[in-house]
Amino acid sequence: MTRRWRWCVLGLAVAACGPEDMGAGVPHAGARLYETTEQGLTVCPGGSLQDGVDVSSYQGTIDWKAAAASGIKWAYAKATEGTGYPDPTFPGNWSGMAAAGVVRGAYHFFHPGMNGTQQADYFLAYVGPLGSSLPPMLDWEVTDNVSGSTASANAQAFIDEVRAKTGRPTMIYTSPGLWSGFGASNFGANPLWVADWTYATSSCPIMPSGWSNWVFWQWSDGKYGTGSVPGIPATVDRDVFNGTLAQLQAYGNASGSLPSAQQSGNDAMTIVNWPDQHFDLFAMSPSGAEQHVWTTGTGDSFGPPATIDTGAACGSAAAFWGAPWTYAELWSPLSDGSTGHAWYTSGVGWNKYQSLGGSNLTHFATLVWLDGRSEVFALGGDGAIWHDFWDLSKSAWSGWQSLGGSFATGPGTVTWSNGTGELFAVDAAGKLWHSWSGSGASFPNGWYAWTQMGSGMASRPSPVRWADGHAEVFVRGQDGQLYHSDFSLQSGWPALSAIGGGGQIVGEPSAIMNGSGKGAAPGPEVFARDPQGRVVHLWWTGSGYSNLAPLGSQVAASDPLGWIRGDGTAEVFAIDPSGNLVHTHHDPTNGWSAWASIASGFDPCTPELPPPPDDAGTPADAGTVTDAGTGHDAGVGRDAGAGFDAGGSDGGGALTLGGGGGQTTDADAGSEPLPIQSKSCCATGTGPDGLALVLCALAALARRRRTA
């Protein structure tokens, strides 16, 4: 049974609660109405809600098919408590939910006075592989008479252990009453399941402090006579998921629980996967029309190209927001020097570009964080890397802020499975630099200072994430060879070294991460163009890298873009010299397919490449830039301003880059961009004004990473 909530009753006030009432142009499906009551922040549901329950041995033996037939779409079952109680009904509930088609999740009854790591290990050992399930839930409803700081430390240890062993975030279930008097803090980055039994008087739950949104709401414990569900012998808690059925199913898809393991595009193309495994590819026409082609499902059946909007320039980037949002968004340079963004609304389609401000930003890239939010990065005309992100505490974009540096390339981006984000860029002298986000939460605690990794480089870096969670980065050297550095816990980022058997490439490489069972050894595969324009590739063989080899006889005018489809298949796209969008995919049985054309009329967005210097030689040895066992050297950081807040709410102790005064713009500016007058794929002009960088010392950042 799906309910629709149109009105939120808060005391004597009645306010519309749907997304349409948040202002035209706000991109988020499920936008919320925020009200502050005497009890605290009240957040209304946004649109469709999906009915669910949470159960334990108290409910006895459950007929899950009967529960599903009555409208129960999802359920959480208690698995463990503390370090010594396994719920005896969990195995039957776990298998029964799956057999009945109920989206399932497992929860642990948390004891704040007990070791959090031991509780997490006990929980994971009893549950076994999580598979396609909702995020693990920490049921926090007792204090154990310990301090808030002790409870917080044990809860964070539980969350960190679950993240390290599964790559999954942890849902926190709690009530505003317990939370307000307890003193726990800094958990706002974790998805929230709020217990607030005020349904009889209000259809908008009260938030525990530190959160500004919720994913699940336990609205009744049976107190109001609504705790009876067919197939469940005893009374039961009633709950709702805040979103559509498709969003719920995506939230319960383990394969979608981590962001993409690679960059989503280059200057010519950008791609996103949807939860149903179809994907969208975006590319531009020579006249500046942003177009997209998409598959109608899994496989390679493409629809005809369609125009999203005009007035775009090369260097767009897309991202697919994670649960609970689950929708696609696209950013692009516009002809007036600002940034445009467009997003997909279910039942409506793609809107026209809306202005996101900025000034002369190019070479865009994106990250999706573990809490589902997107962040966009770009190269400024001042050479700095700039960023903008959706700030939950404001329900608005943060405004463009400088991350500093002086670069010649756009940023390469990757999200580690532990929640850390990392950026890579190359300066005009050929030095490779990187910056990384803070740890300890699923949304970053700010960005650390740029640290040099090597020299003699000549392209935007292309990083990927291995299955064990660590990252590797690939970049073209000034000598035309492909270089890489692969992080290890023992040695950090080692010196850049050449791979590919001495073969030469031009332009920007594109790296993907092959999974197991798809006809290739699990590991990276890199695509590029050789000096003749042919698409070439190399791959991880299981023990080392192959030499560069042609991928058929395809000649490309654009840099090729590798991608992993939602079904795990590797695919490569390029724009040929005639403007045709061409592709090939890797068949597990028959190898790479023949190159084929999808559509025509696209811009390769590739500036003329300067010849490599005659004396480029071998890039200088970067040495090891990270201390073994402790993560990156902190170096010098930058002080707070309008940057990230810790956990996206109260900003307590956040480490940020970029001082105050950035250009904050309304997400609903709404004016259509001017028609493009001339197209440029290079960074020109000056960056946004008014930001000052204030240097401060930062402590060393510890990061849990494992070797390949």
Which residue in the list 54, 160, 329, 508 is annotated as catalytic?
A: 54
List strand residue ranges (DSSP E) for 132-285, in order. Answer: 137-139, 171-174, 192-195, 216-220, 237-242, 269-273, 279-284
Q: What is the DSSP letter of 548?
A: P
Nearest 5°: phi and psi at 313?
A: -130, 170
Query: Are the CB atoms for 340 and 334 separated by under 8 Å?
Result: yes
> Of 570, 567, 574, nearest to 596 (Cα)?
574
Distance in angstroms (rounded) separating the CA atoms of residues 481 and 266: 19
Nearest 5°: phi and psi at 7?
A: -130, 140
Q: What is the DSSP letter of 57?
A: G
Q: For residue 635, is it left (φ>0), alpha (ψ between -120 and 50) or beta? A: left
Is 329 a known active-site residue?
A: no
Distance in angstroms (rounded) separating the CA atoms of residues 54 and 612: 63
Distance in angstroms (rounded) separating the CA atoms of residues 404 and 406: 7
Which residue in the list 141, 276, 621, 672 is annotated as catalytic?
A: 141
- Distances in Å between the Cα of 29 and the Cα atoms of 22, 399, 685 are 11, 20, 35
- Distances in Å between the Cα of 675 and the Cα atoms of 50, 287, 313, 325 are 43, 9, 11, 31
Which residue in the list 81, 139, 267, 375 is annotated as catalytic?
A: 139
> Of 102, 158, 171, 95, nearest to 129 (Cα)?
95
Is 139 a known active-site residue?
A: yes
> Of 44, 27, 26, 46, nearest to 35 (Cα)?
44
Helices then strands, each counted (H, E), the chain: 6, 49
Output the six-digit token pair for 206.
Answer: 């009260």
Q: Residue 509, Cβ neighbours under 10 Å: how many? A: 29
Is 63 a known active-site residue?
A: no
Residues in the chain: 708
Strand partners, 567: none
Residue type, 345: T
Q: Which residues contact 432 (CB under 8 A, 6 or more apart)?
A: 424, 425, 426, 452, 453, 454, 455, 457, 461, 475, 496, 622
Output the six-digit token pair for 580.
Answer: 């045709």
Question: What is the Cα gyration radius of the chain?
Answer: 25
Q: What is the DSSP letter of 305?
A: P
Distance in angstroms (rounded) separating the CA atoms of residues 548 and 554: 15
Q: What is the DSSP letter of 471?
A: E
> Of 638, 639, 685, 643, nearest to 664 (Cα)?
643
> Of 368, 136, 134, nearest to 254 (Cα)?
134
Output the six-digit token pair for 365.
Answer: 């890239």
| Residue that has been written with the tokens 């000096």 in this structure | 531
Please give the torsion angle defined by the CA atoms of residues 649, 116, 374 and 210, in that order, rounded to the nearest 10 degrees.
-10
Q: What is the DSSP letter of 38?
A: S
Distance in angstroms (rounded) separating the CA atoms of residues 535 and 457: 20
Burial class (CB in 10 A: 0-12, 13-18, 19+), 683: buried
Output the six-digit token pair for 407.
Answer: 């670069």
CA angle 484, 488, 490 (to 5 degrees): 135
- Kindly list the catalytic residues: 54, 139, 141
